[in-house]
Amino acid sequence: QVQLVESGGGLVQPGGSLRLSCAASGFGLTYSNVGWFRQAPGKEREGVACVGATDSNTYYAASVKSRFTISRDNAKNTVYLQMNSLSPEDTAVYYCAAGPLITTIRSMCVAAQGINEWGQGTQVTVSS
């Protein structure tokens, strides 16, 4: 019953915007650290943005800072990733993850190996 589901991905033109949603069921996302991660073909998974459960501090990868915004809607048990000014380099499968092992290293979002919950991912393609 514990589940994370991403939605909102799709095809968008360069310069366009998308809002990804990460909806949780079976547990309270409010009480979890939550991160967005992405993986492009042939590349390693990278942290995009994350938000802390206790202090609500947000962190962003340098490549997306000022363009992406992570936010919570506690009433809907959902975390969002607003993505603006998208470029082809943003093309990837985007995953959300929640749990105590979502953390930061030098302000970069990371997911340590462990019992974090992961969604199945949503494809974001930026192309003209």
pLDDT of residue 110: 93
pLDDT of residue 70: 97
pLDDT of residue 42: 94
pLDDT of residue 55: 73
Q: Residue holding tokens 């968008």? A: 12
pLDDT of residue 88: 97
Contact of 115 with 99, CB cutoff 8 Å: yes
pLDDT of residue 2: 86
Q: What is the mean pLDDT of the chain?
A: 94
* DSSP 8-state secondary structure symbol assigned to residue 115: S
pLDDT of residue 12: 98
Instruction: Please write the tens of the pLDDT for every residue from 31-82.
Output: 899 999 999 999 999 999 999 988 789 999 999 999 999 999 989 999 999 9
Within 10 A of 64 (CB to CB), how many other CB atoms are there? 23
Token pair listed for 26 = 């079976």
CA distance 79 to 62: 20
Contact of 10 with 127, CB cutoff 8 Å: no
pLDDT of residue 59: 96
